[in-house]
Amino acid sequence: MKRIGILTGGGDAPGLNAVIRAAVKTAINEYQCEVLGIRNGYDGFLEEDGIIPLGRDSVRGILPRGGTILGSANRGNPYARKVIRDGKEVTIDVSDEIVKGIKKLQMDALLVLGGDGTLHIAHELYQKGVPVIGVPKTIDNDIGGTEFTFGFDTAVNIATEAIDRLHTTAESHHRAMVIELMGRDAGFIALHSGVSGGADVILIPEIPFTFDNILTKVRTRVERGLKFSILAVSEGAKPKGGGQVFSRKGDEMYVPRLGGIAQVVGEFLETHGFESRVTVLGHLQRGGTPTAFDRWLATRYGAAAVRLAAREGYDRMVALQCGEITDLPLEEAVAVPKRVDVNGDAVITARNIGISFGDE
């Protein structure tokens, strides 16, 4: 193995730099291998200055840093790249150009750090001869075949701290505090932080709710003398028979953006006599320094991805299973997105301790 490349695609997640650092160190220390960084996801193959050498010096001090030193691109799909031609925006397939660029660089492996979209593309590029290795990244924790993606633990910790802080002010003012959390169509962040932060109601996409059930829970608490409530709401949560709430419609440039369900829930409570305040935690969940767990996981993933490359384990993704790092075919990992098991112990535990999911 003489030369490998690394790219980071999709939304960033705390721990990306820790993966890059571990991969660079492992490649140099164990395989005397050259490492190239590709800037801004797959776009880097098409950009001037899109490829940079990564040495020990480039990764010094980046372990605790959030974001990615390589930059990322949310819309960097080589199969559907938006460009302006004759003043008009058109979608073109530049995958062959990218494959040509990759092959010209004579890389023995391309480590792709990404979520489902980026990893899907990696699998497709493999069909065109690119020796890809996947590393599962996302705060949503929604990638199959792995217990945890890096970035998730940091997001849960930030969300938990936010819920703790809402608790004290909720109690002082006898209010319902509704907090909207990220996760897209998976409720892991709301579930984990809601339980860890002692929420009274947790709404997740996997368990459709009714407004009446939420009201009953808040009312029952008041009747028991508890005049405040904490509601942890996943951005993708939806009422039974209803749809998700979006803050921005999808168009040629952007996928639809989830957002606004917490406001809907807060307004509903207000119209039924419960003073409410809404917090949207947003990108605070994605920014800043990774937790120790995410640094540990990201470091293990980075080193394991390079070992996998050395074994020519292309078109596979490193993963965490039963606490150990392993790997599985990329196709398998991205086939079905991971969702909260509504009959699993996490949901049962939450119900046992009196948390309402708004479904009963």
Per-residue CA distances from 85 to 90, 105, 180, 320 (Å): 7, 28, 39, 44
Residue 192 near ligand F6P by CB under 6 A: no
E-assigned strand segments in the chain: 3-8, 34-38, 51-54, 81-85, 88-92, 109-114, 132-136, 176-181, 201-203, 229-234, 246-248, 257-258, 276-280, 316-321, 324-329
Sketch the per residue contact string, 272 through 301, with ligand F6P: x for CB under 6 A, - otherwise.
Answer: --------------x---------------
Give the nearer residue to ligand F6P in terms of CB position, either 11 or 37. 11
Residue 74 or 279: which CB sits closer to ligand F6P?
74
Q: Would you call 168 exposed, middle or buried from its count of C-beta atoms within 10 A (0-12, 13-18, 19+)?
A: exposed
In the list 183, 194, 197, 302, the residue contacting ligand F6P (rule: CB under 6 A) is 183
349, amino acid identity: T
Residue 11 binds ligand F6P (CB under 6 A):
yes
Least distance CB 275 / ligand F6P (angstroms): 28
In this structure, are strands 324-329 and 316-321 parallel, antiparallel, or unpaired?
antiparallel
- Could you give the string, one character per residue 15-44, with x where binding to ligand F6P holds by CB under 6 A and - elsewhere? ------------------------------
Q: For ligand F6P, which is the closer residue by CB, 182 or 303? A: 182
Based on CB atoms, which residue is closest to ligand F6P, 117 or 313?
117
The catalytic residue among 140, 142, 153, 294 is 140
Q: Does 237 engage in binding with ligand F6P (CB under 6 A)? A: no
* 3-class secondary-structure state, position 346: helix
In the complex, least distance from residue 266 CB atom to ligand F6P, rounded to whole angstroms: 19
Using rule CB under 6 A, residue 234 touches ligand F6P: no
Helices (H) and strands (E) counted in the chain, each on its own, are 10, 15
The closest alpha carbon to 305, from 118, 114, 155, 52, belongs to 114
Please list the residues that pair with 176 across neighbouring strands.
229, 276
Whether residue 140 lies in the annotated active site: yes
Question: Residues 300-339: x/- map of binding to ligand F6P (CB under 6 A)?
Answer: ----------------------------------------
Contact flag: residue 120 with ligand F6P (CB under 6 A): no
4 near ligand F6P, judged by CB under 6 A: no
Angle in degrees, CA 204, 289, 295, rounded to 5: 85
Q: Which is nearer to ligand F6P, 100 or 283 (CB)?
A: 283
> 90 in helix, strand or coil?
strand
Residue at token pair 């660079």: 24
Quote the radius of gyration of the chain (alpha carbons, Å): 22
**Of 140, 180, 206, 327, the one binding ligand F6P by CB under 6 A:** 140
Between β-strands 316-321 and 201-203, what pairing exists: parallel, antiparallel or unpaired? unpaired
Residue 39 or residue 286: which is nearer to ligand F6P going by CB? 286
Residue 11 Cβ vs ligand F6P, minimum distance, rounded to whole Å: 4
Q: Which of residues 250-269 bind ligand F6P (CB under 6 A)?
A: 258
The residues assigned a catalytic role are 140
Q: Which residues contribute to the site for ligand F6P (CB under 6 A)?
A: 11, 74, 115, 138-140, 182-184, 235, 258, 286
